[in-house]
Each structure stands twice: as C-alpha cells, then as structure tokens.
Amino acid sequence: MKRLTISFISFLTALFGWGQTTAIPVYLDETKPIEQRVEDALARMTLEEKVAMCHAQSKFSSAGVPRLGIPENWMSDGPHGIRPEVLWDEWDQAGWTNDSCTAFPALTCLAATWNPEMAALYGNAIGEEARYRNKNVLLGPGVNIYRTPLNGRNFEYMGEDPYLAARMVVPYVQGVQSNGVAACVKHFALNNQEQYRQQVNVEVSDRALHEIYLPAFKAAVTEGKAWAIMGSYNMYKGQHCCHNQYLLKDILRDLWHFDGVVISDWGGVHNTQEAIYNGLDMEFGTWTNNKDWGDSNAYNAYYLANPFLRLIREGKVKEDALDKKVRNILRLAFRTTMNSKRPFGSFATPEHAAIGLRIAQEGIVLLKNSPLTPKKTDVVLPVDFNKTKKIAVIGENAIKIMIIGGGSSSLKSKYEISPLEGIKQHVGDRAEVVFARGYVSDQLNKKGEIKHDGMFINDAIDARSRDELLSEAVATAKNADLVIFVGGLNKYNGQDCEGSDRKGLELPYEQDKVIAALAKANKNLAVVIISGNATAMPWVNDVPAIVQTWYNGTEAGNALGAMLTGEVNPSGKLPFSFPVKLEDVGAHAWGDYPGAKANGGIHERYNEDIFVGYRWFEHRKIKPLFAFGHGLSYTSFAYGKAHISAPSLSEGETLTVSLPVRNTGTRTGKEVVQLYIGDEQSSVVRPIKELKKFLKIELQPNETQEVSFTLSVEDLKFFDENAQQWTAEPGKFKAYIGSSSSDIRQTVGFELVKR
C-alpha cells in the first residue's frame, strides 16, 4: 500500500510540478518570521510610499501600498464601541444604515467590576465588532489615572489606582487583539484633564510618573503586548507627548521594548523635527495644515507628509529615520490586515449585548442601603414587592439618551434601554411604575433638536420651568410606595465630556434641590447617580439608599432594573474615591489643577505627587464620602483570621497570605477581597497602604472560600528616583485585607530581609 501511495504522489508531482512551491514574495509568506517579512516589504517600497504610510489620508485612515497589496490602515474610536462611519474628511457621520453598534459600558464600569474576566470578555467582544467593521486599529482603551473628579474623560478610563487599572487593561488588550485588531492604548501620558489639554505642560516627579501614571500603560505593553499606543495632546518636560523623547523613546521603546506603532492624537503633532526623531510613527489629525487649523484634505501638508519627504529628498534627514517608522507600521499590517488567519468578527449581536449587560450588572455599585428604622431589616433595596405597589421613577436621566455624547467615544447603537424602560421591564406587573422628570438639563429645555456628530437626536426636550418640574415630582413621590430618583451627569459639555472639565463637584440642574424635596416627601427613596466621576452628595444622610452607576450602554436600563428589583445582587466596587468636597482632593488641595499661564505656556505641577485618590485621603487623614474599593451587597461577608506562610521573605522568595471568607447572608453574592501593602519603615515617604492584590469570588449563602494571595518583593517596591529603578527596602511591612480601602478586616505583619 505504502509503495502505491508514494508512486501516486511522484506521478502527481511529475504531472503538475507539485512540491515546488511557487515562489511568493517573502513579505507575503506567512510562514516566514515577521521581521523578515518587514524587511522584505520595506526594501520593495519607494520613498513616497513609505512617507505616505506615516500620516493620515483621511479622518481615520492611512495609506497602504496598493502596488504591493499592502492594505490601508483603518482606525476607529472608541473604547466603548465602534464609532459610526464618518465622512472621508469630516467629523459628521456618513449616514450609513449598517453601522449601529453594541454600545458597551464605559470603562469606569468595567473597572468597577474588579473582574479581569469581564475585561477579557469586553476586549474580545469589542474586538469582534471592530474586526467586522474592517477596522484594524481600535482607538482604545484609555487608562489615564483619575487625578481630579472634574476631568471630562474619566468615564473613559479605569479609575484612580494604577494596580486596578493595570490588571483590568491587560485582558482587554489581549481580547481585542485576539481578533487581529490592534488595541491602541491611550493617551500616553499624563492626560488627566481636558482643561488646557492641548497645551498644558505637566510637571511631575519621576516617582509619581512611574508609581501612579505609567503602570497601566506599562502593563498594557509588557503584559498585554499592545500593538499600538496613542500619544496624548499635553506636554511633559516641555515636549508634546505625541513626539516626546522621554516617554516614546526612553521609556516606551528602550525600557519597555515596545515593538508596536505610535499614533498621534488627532492634531497632536506640532513640530516636524520632534515628530521625525522622538518616536512618533503615524500622524493623524483634524484639518491641520501643519501651521494652524487649515484646509480640509490637507493631509499632504502634515508634518510627517510633504515636509518630511522634502527633508529626506534634500538630504537633511536620513531615510533611516523614515524606515524606523515604516517597520513599525508594516509590523502592524502583518499582525492585522495581512494576517490571513484572523477571525471575521461579528457585529451588534445578542451575544455582545449580553456581554455588555453582564459587565454592567457586575459594575453597578451599591453605595448605601441603610435600614429606615432601628429594626435594621427594612432596607429600601432590593424592592420589596410585598409592600411596594407603586413606584415613582423621577429624574431626567431615567429617560436620557446616554450613548450619544461625551466626545470621541460617542456611539450610534442598535438600541438603548433607558433606566425607566429597564425598571418597568423588571418590575413587570408586580407594581405600577409612574414617571416624573424632576429636572431638565440646559440643553434639553430649548425647542429644536440636539445635534451630535451631525446626527440629530430629539432627546426628550422639555420646556417646562424647574419649579413646575419640581412640584410635579414631589406630588408624584408623595403618592408612591417607593421613589427611585435617577440623576447624575449626562455627557454634555462640562458634564463628563471630552474637551471640557466640570466646574465643580456638584450635581448640575439643581438636582440636589429635587433630591432634598423628594427625601422630605417620601422616606422610601433610592437615589441612582449615573456618572463617570464622583459627585457631591449634600443629601447623603437624608437618603437611605444610594446607587452609583455608569454610562452602561445598550443594556444600561436592564442592568439597573435587574439590580434594583433584586434579580441581580450588586457586586461593583468604586474604582475611585468620593470626596466630601473638592478641596479634599490632592490635585485641588496641593496640586495646582488646572495649571496656570507661565512663560508663554500653561504649566501644571502635580504637587500631590504619589498621593492620588485614597493615597491622599489616608496620608492626610481625610475621611472620604465613599472610599476607593467600597461597594455593598444584598448579602454580607465575614472575613476569618488571616494567616501568613512565613514571617519574612527576601529577594526571589514569596509568601502567601490566606484567609477564609464566608457569605453570612441569605443569598448568593460576589465579594471583591482586596489586599493592600503598607511599608512600615522606609527611607522615602510612602502611602499608608497601596492596592497590590484583589480577587472577586462568588459565594452561596453560608459558603466559605479560602482566599490566598502570593506576595513577592515586587509587591513591596517603590520607584527610587536616584537609582532610577524600582527597589524594596528591608524592614517591616503590613498586609491589609478588606472589603474596601477603608473597610479593613484583617492585618498581618511580615518582614523583608536580606538573607
């Protein structure tokens, strides 16, 4: 038999010349190492083709090499979903009818899940949508640290703690890129506010840079293996971050060995020489004619377009500077558009909506749920349908379109379940649900329609006065068994939106007045705040139940309805602290937010240094309104005694901290067990404690799980500015284990020794 097979194959070989592979060019041969393919493609490209690759050709695309079959690169916002198609050179939408996406929850919600599994689901699902829409670069996620609660874009990011953001960004990046789509992690770096975002020159210590502002980017690159990074608009050390020697070369390339592509923010390039030599690969923009805001379709005028070509032709710039960029861009192509094995994606599917719903359900945070009377059983949530036959839902945010707005992360979704719709669907026929608007936002009490991205939305306009709305709300509340107020911010300018910061911590549109009136009208009141930032709550002692939820996208209302009616037990934890007042925040008490004019520019000193968020509150012994990591459940958890595997450890060793956690309530619930490390003796000032481990577990009633964390010297280090490296000093340390940064249940001491 074997002989027969061999002779048959040799016959076919003779007949068809099989066995001699037709010689395909190396750059097209996927069996060849990628770097070999890069060099082969580079050698085949002309100077003009190489320069054309380094800058935009349209609002969201850059040239390929048609002659060689190398495709164009197509980028798309954003971190929460795939942006509707826009016109070639306009921000306005192209009016397609097949680009309504799944709007996933904002990344603050993802961070609030404290569940890396959710990040993996999220990344893969949004990567599938990008892939289906033929985008090979997703302009997200954003991981800028939450330094001030006024920052207009905090809703796009993952909170105030570098460790939480780092743990959550890695699976997201891996999920996106498993679809052959590059995650473009942004905005690198120190883009922590929108005020003066194009000019502000941030001055920050190396310690704060490395300990607070870089870790999430570092994790995305060194663990997530991100294929793209977006430079930020602001400046650092006097250079714009889109072409910043320190960030893009010294740190990103030399320290982290990043081999992906660096993309500018849109219009973030200001200097040809720096753009050529400081690590930028691709320039994208908005009508810049490389002098100022210029003509449409001015792409050949970009800094990395004709000016760059001319300098090379005149011999003033070596072609090698260009080749460095093109290698990174070709590597992007071979990882994405020219990877024939990548999947085909999927778009706006029920499965993606279900993933968005799961993430939203896991990210909603129950801040307060106090008993109405000392009996301690009559909490407001979840709704008790034995005594609740009429529910009044009050507040504009219960009906407000939230997927549109907020800037570049704005989306056109297939549908959006509002809080009111979601509450009605989950209440069903168990109670009557009535609605009163309660308040109206500025933009919506005028006639006419709201235009966003060129798209008109007739978003629940109401011309009534605030007094009319208030009296209607109070009357409605008085006649109900339960009142659910739904308010917060709304992604309009100054209310969680790119390009503008908030002016203060307070809720807008006189919501505090409405909430205070409702609390007087009916003690059975739950306040639901939708926002991407902390807000002031002067009524906090008058309201028995408070829920913090997020811009949760397509299934937002269903997630909230399921949580309020008890179908889902909340398990979210705050990814940032809630201050009582703005002056309690480091950036405002000690830092000089938003920066000030000096020497012809805007300069801002992050004086609070490493003390951001809970680090600041604990360092200054300021009690927050709600602490980082805080979040209640409809059940309760008991933490048993913590044990440590050894009294000390040294370099190269690990030790384990473990403890039993039990569900002491009557229903299944999830708990995020958090471990913080405090350095008891250090030569430099350090925070009281810093998050270094966490684990989300699900427990049945009365179930106990042994939770273990393995610690190494890495978890004890700080960034030594003199040595310019991470170091840990021998001495005593403490591990704090708890349900939030301010609810520590167990503490164990140990020592770092030199053996």
**C-beta of 76 vs 476, nearer to ligand GLC:** 76
Look up residue 66 and give its two tokens. 């048609």
Which residues have a Cβ under 8 Å from the Cβ of 713 and sit 6 or more positions away?
649, 650, 651, 652, 653, 728, 752
Q: What does the alpha-carbon distance between residue 466 and residue 478 come to, in Å, rounded to a whole number?
A: 18
Contact 268/274 with Cβ under 8 angstroms? Answer: no
**C-beta of 139 vs 209, nearer to ligand GLC:** 139
Q: What is the 3 state secondary structure string of 205-233?
A: CHHHHHHHHCHHHHHHHHCCCCCEEEECC
Where does residue 522 rank: exposed (0-12), middle (13-18), buried (19+ CB within 10 A)? middle
Q: What does the alpha-carbon distance between residue 755 and residue 753 come to, in Å, rounded to a whole number?
A: 6
Look up residue 20 and give its two tokens. 């001699």
Q: What does the alpha-carbon distance between residue 708 and residue 521 come to, in Å, rounded to a whole number?
A: 48
Please state the closest distance from residue 137 (CB atom) to ligand GLC, in A: 10
**Identity of residue 514:** V
**C-beta of 336 vs 408, nearer to ligand GLC:** 408
Please state the closest distance from residue 139 (CB atom) to ligand GLC, in A: 4
**C-beta of 408 vs 635, nearer to ligand GLC:** 408
Contact 326/63 with Cβ under 8 angstroms? Answer: no
**Which residues here bind ligand GLC, judged by CB under 6 A?**
77-78, 139, 186, 265-266, 408
Nearest to 567 by CA among 482, 634, 630, 666: 634
If one counts every other C-beta atom within 10 angstroms of the C-beta of residue 723, the result is: 8
Helix orientation angle between 556-564 and 350-363, rounded to the nearest 10 degrees: 50
CA 259 to chain centre: 23
Contact 366/633 with Cβ under 8 angstroms? Answer: yes
Please state the closest distance from residue 142 (CB atom) to ligand GLC, in A: 7
Which residues have a Cβ under 8 Å from the Cβ of 471 and sit 6 or more positions away?
none
Beta strands in 20-111 (DSSP E): 61-62, 73-76
Please state the closest distance from residue 187 (CB atom) to ligand GLC, in A: 6
Q: Which of 77, 99, 265, 715 is catalytic?
A: 265
Q: What does the alpha-carbon distance between residue 628 and residue 643 come to, in Å, rounded to a whole number?
A: 25
State the first-to-last Cα distance of the chain, in angstroms, to the nearest integer: 68
Contact 478/521 with Cβ under 8 angstroms? Answer: yes
Where does residue 7 rank: exposed (0-12), middle (13-18), buried (19+ CB within 10 A)? exposed
**C-beta of 187 vs 615, nearer to ligand GLC:** 187
8-state DSSP, 82? P
Contact 310/290 with Cβ under 8 angstroms? Answer: no
Give the residues across from 101 on adjacent strands. Answer: 413
**C-beta of 370 vs 493, nearer to ligand GLC:** 493
**C-beta of 186 vs 358, nearer to ligand GLC:** 186
Please state the closest distance from residue 290 (CB atom) to ligand GLC, in A: 17
Run of H or E including 121: helix 116-132
The two beta strands, 137-138 and 182-188, are: parallel
Catalytic residue flag (residue 254) = no
**C-beta of 139 vs 735, nearer to ligand GLC:** 139
Q: What does the alpha-carbon distance between residue 157 and residue 358 come to, in Å, rounded to a whole number?
A: 19
**C-beta of 129 vs 265, nearer to ligand GLC:** 265
Please state the closest distance from residue 59 (CB atom) to ligand GLC, in A: 8
**C-beta of 409 vs 418, nearer to ligand GLC:** 409
**C-beta of 408 vs 441, nearer to ligand GLC:** 408
Q: Is the peptide bond before 55 cis (omega within 30 degrees of 0)?
A: no
Q: What does the alpha-carbon distance between residue 174 and residue 204 come to, in Å, rounded to a whole number?
A: 30
HSE-CB for 632 with a 13 A CA cutoff: 17
**C-beta of 119 vs 139, nearer to ligand GLC:** 139
Nearest to 508 by CA among 496, 525, 518, 523: 496
DSSP assignment of 699-746 equals E-TT-EEEEEEEEEGGGG-EEETTTTEEE--SEEEEEEEEEETTEEEE
**C-beta of 63 vs 139, nearer to ligand GLC:** 139
Q: What does the alpha-carbon distance between residue 429 and residue 262 come to, in Å, rounded to a whole number?
A: 54
Q: Can you state the percent helix, strand and coil of the chain, rounding each to 5?
A: 30, 20, 45
Please state the closest distance from residue 266 (CB atom) to ligand GLC, in A: 4
Please state the closest distance from residue 107 (CB atom) to ligand GLC, in A: 12
Q: What does the alpha-carbon distance between residue 544 and residue 376 come to, in Å, rounded to a whole number?
A: 12
What is the set of active-site residues?
265
